[in-house]
Structure 1
Amino acid sequence: MVGIQEPRRPAVFALRTLAVAACYYAAGRLGLLCRLTVEGAVLTPIYPSTGVALACLLVFGLGCWPGVTLGAFFLVLSLGTPGPDVVGILLGNTAGPVCAYVMLRRVGFRTDLGRLRDGLALVFLGALAAMLISSTVDVVTLILAGKLAATHFWPIWLAWWVGDAMGVLIVTPVLLVLLGARWPPAFARWREALALSAVAVVLVPVATRSSLSALFLVYPLLIWAALRFRLAGSMLCALFASVLATVAATAGTGAFAGLSRVEVMVKLQLFNGSLALTALLLSAVITEQRNTRLSVEEACQELAEALEHLTAHDHPAGRAPPEVEELRRARDKR
């Protein structure tokens, strides 16, 4: 189910709006800690505020859009005195996540991301398609205001669009997983989770900061996380790797040393994009196959119980018919 029932009390609505605005603002400030300059424009390779905004819309419903607008306004205000162009910026930053929410709701998107179609919808509708709106409106607004040169429209627009899309691809799934997780979590595989975390803490910094351009070392770790911990493990691993890669890119170290700022942006976004797509789609496929297997097992169990009940009067007490025994043996093997 996408969204929850809208609160009717003004106090609840106001508190929710302020909470969404605060989350949007905090995410934006974190994203601005790592900046890249493309054709004179300062951009963030990952803009987490778009991911926060879409997650809030999916969880709380369309009524929380004023919080997105308010958070965007405070973020713009923290960067300097806003001018008339602030209206276009707020419009773009709000319209992108809202359009993503509307499109996802139209296709029956489920926030548990348990189906491959949900992962594909988030990638192509929520990230790639909807963020075209926000990036286009924002960049055109800044050009009309004279803050950007029109001759640099395409490289700035591309970097802006990819940054917004990366926020959705990387941040939104993590927030949806955290909000939908059961607390406290099960302790059955804590040892493996700790081992995965330890390997990630050692391997990811080496991969992102090594002069050998060893970013590919992250993918086996990502596959391990997806196979064993599905979406929660893979997306947290992807978020960790993306953050460290972004830090290395802005510092110009490791695999990003000796590159121009445009080359750094392209290489970083290709890495972040492929990482997020791999984590999201692989986890969705694994989860969907697991749910299918569980459904088949439940159907077999129900069939065995039905056969046992229907044929109980035709066999001696304490003995089950051969069909039921065969189903039981198949179930025990699984």
Structure 2
Amino acid sequence: MAGVVRNEELRRFTGTGLRILAVAAAYLLVGRLGLLEQVVLGSVRVAPLWPPTGIAVSCLLLMGLRVWPGIALGALLVIATIGPVTAASAGVVAGNTLAPICAVLLLRRVDFRVELDRFRDGAALVFLGALIAMLLSATMGSGALLISGSLSADNFWGTWAAWWTGDAMGVLVITPVLLAARTIRLPLEIRPARWLEATALLLSTIAVALIGSLSTLHLLFLVFPLLIWAALRFELAGAAPCVLLVSVISVMAAGRQVGPFADHDLFALMVTLQALNGAAALTTLLLVAVVAERRSTYLQIERACVALAEVVARLAPGDGTSGRPPSDGGRGHGS
């Protein structure tokens, strides 16, 4: 019996270790991709969209808090690939690890469901998981760099704003995509009209986001009808990728300071990006939740109607007597 218990503990420990390594590898890979678009202030590099934060929050939600060492290891490896590991790196790693943990703990306090099928779930992910929890990583990371002398006081708030924006946007645009991906199933039958609509939605979103990001006429608000279309017709599986596309395109435009992002300082750019992507994510997530709640209500009503019909059928006159000859009160036909 003791051997069986030890084997079970060994399997559990091995499984947890493999998950931690997988989280670290995913964090490192996505982190390298996130650094393709970055803001450089002196010797400090900050990504206005930091996808690893969304990876971290998703992994903690789906695998549990026990995989947090993978986040710390991944953050440390990202730092090691772009420069020397210094004393300030400890504060950066701590902030990048504690912020996703804080986000998950806050979401658990409000009974968050990863299906994002309730209005409260969408609002909780935006406000608690992204905007509030990511204040921790921005403050700890920028503070560690300021104390170590790697960041000047003049650049502190610009770096802090970019850091907070990047981490929050990582949660807003990456976490819904990963949560949606786990529920996607291939359809049993191919419906050409549905695929044609999805393709048209995807191409329209890319085209409108590009036009809005490159034009000086401030036309980025035109993406919102497309996001509403995605949420109403395809729910989370369609809305989350569209938000991701809009965010990536807007971040690239802001990094090059073109279109509506021209002639702005770093702080103004980060505020504009955060407002745009926060509004886009909030709009789509709340609409997705409303549609999911409506569908759930319809299903409950349908089940209640079926149950009521069965009860009525059982209580109908003559029910249960089929197959037996009608009673004649004990009198013969010839009487």
TM-score range, shorter chain: 0.7 to 0.9
Task: Give the Å deviation of 1:227.
Answer: 0.7
Q: How many residues align?
A: 312
**Partners of 1:183 and 1:92 in 2: CA distance:** 39
Q: Secondary structure at the match of 1:171?
A: helix
Letter of the structure 1 residue corresponding to residue 308 of structure 2: L
Change in Cα spacing, 1:311 to 1:269, as seen in structure 2 (3 Å) is same
Matched-pair contact (CA < 8 Å) for 2:34–2:51: yes
Counterpart of 1:321 in structure 2 is none
Letter of the structure 2 residue corresponding to residue 230 of structure 1: E
Task: Give the Å deviation of 1:126.
Answer: 1.1
Counterpart of 1:80 in structure 2 is 83
**Partners of 1:141 and 1:50 in 2: CA distance:** 19
**Partners of 2:211 and 2:268 in 1: CA distance:** 21
2:293 matched to 1:274? no
Change in Cα spacing, 1:248 to 1:152, as seen in structure 2 (3 Å) is closer
Q: Secondary structure at the match of 1:313?
A: coil
Task: Give the Å deviation of 1:28.
Answer: 1.4
Task: Give the Å deviation of 1:95.
Answer: 0.5
Matched-pair contact (CA < 8 Å) for 1:242–1:272: yes
**Partners of 1:210 and 1:316 in 2: CA distance:** 77
Matched-pair contact (CA < 8 Å) for 2:169–2:277: yes
1:67-89 Cα deviation digits (max 9, x unpaired): 11110010000110111122111
Counterpart of 1:153 in structure 2 is 156
**Partners of 2:294 and 2:144 in 1: CA distance:** 45
**Partners of 2:286 and 2:182 in 1: CA distance:** 20
Q: Secondary structure at the match of 1:42?
A: strand
Change in Cα spacing, 1:7 to 1:138, as seen in structure 2 (3 Å) is farther
2:307 matched to 1:298? no
Change in Cα spacing, 1:157 to 1:12, as seen in structure 2 (3 Å) is same
Change in Cα spacing, 1:185 to 1:39, as seen in structure 2 (3 Å) is farther
2:177 matched to 1:178? no
**Partners of 1:299 and 1:39 in 2: CA distance:** 64
Consecutive unaligned residues of structure 2, counting only runs of 5 or more, are 1-8, 323-335
**Partners of 2:87 and 2:234 in 1: CA distance:** 48
Counterpart of 1:199 in structure 2 is 204
Change in Cα spacing, 1:39 to 1:154, as seen in structure 2 (3 Å) is farther
**Partners of 1:128 and 1:116 in 2: CA distance:** 17
Q: Secondary structure at the match of 1:46?
A: coil
Counterpart of 1:3 in structure 2 is none
1:94-140 Cα deviation digits (max 9, x unpaired): 10111111222232211111111111221222112211221111111
Counterpart of 1:105 in structure 2 is 108
Letter of the structure 2 residue corresponding to residue 278 of structure 1: T
Task: Give the Å deviation of 1:178.
Answer: 0.3
1:254-298 Cα deviation digits (max 9, x unpaired): 222333333333222221121111111121122112211221122
Matched-pair contact (CA < 8 Å) for 1:51–1:168: yes
User: In structure 2, which of residues 222, 231, 236 is the aligned counterpart of residue 217 of structure 1?
Assistant: 222
**Partners of 1:13 and 1:150 in 2: CA distance:** 42
Give the TM-score, by structure 2 length: 0.86
Task: Give the Å deviation of 1:209.
Answer: 1.6
Matched-pair contact (CA < 8 Å) for 1:39–1:156: no
Letter of the structure 2 residue corresponding to residue 285 of structure 1: V
**Partners of 1:31 and 1:190 in 2: CA distance:** 30
2:94 matched to 1:91? yes
Change in Cα spacing, 1:107 to 1:260, as seen in structure 2 (3 Å) is closer
**Partners of 1:177 and 1:316 in 2: CA distance:** 51
Counterpart of 2:130 in structure 1 is 127
Counterpart of 1:12 in structure 2 is 15
Counterpart of 1:62 in structure 2 is 65
Counterpart of 1:261 in structure 2 is 266
Give the TM-score, by structure 1 length: 0.86
Matched-pair contact (CA < 8 Å) for 1:127–1:164: yes
**Partners of 2:138 and 2:302 in 1: CA distance:** 47
User: In structure 1, which of residues 238, 243, 246 is the aligned counterpart of residue 248 of structure 2?
Assistant: 243
Q: Secondary structure at the match of 1:82?
A: coil
Letter of the structure 1 residue corresponding to residue 266 of structure 2: R
Task: Give the Å deviation of 1:244.
Answer: 0.8
Letter of the structure 1 residue corresponding to residue 299 of structure 2: L
Counterpart of 2:142 in structure 1 is 139
Change in Cα spacing, 1:115 to 1:39, as seen in structure 2 (3 Å) is farther
Matched-pair contact (CA < 8 Å) for 1:62–1:98: yes
Consecutive unaligned residues of structure 1, counting only runs of 5 or more, are 1-5, 318-334
Counterpart of 1:283 in structure 2 is 288
Task: Give the Å deviation of 1:39.
Answer: 8.2
**Partners of 1:200 and 1:107 in 2: CA distance:** 33
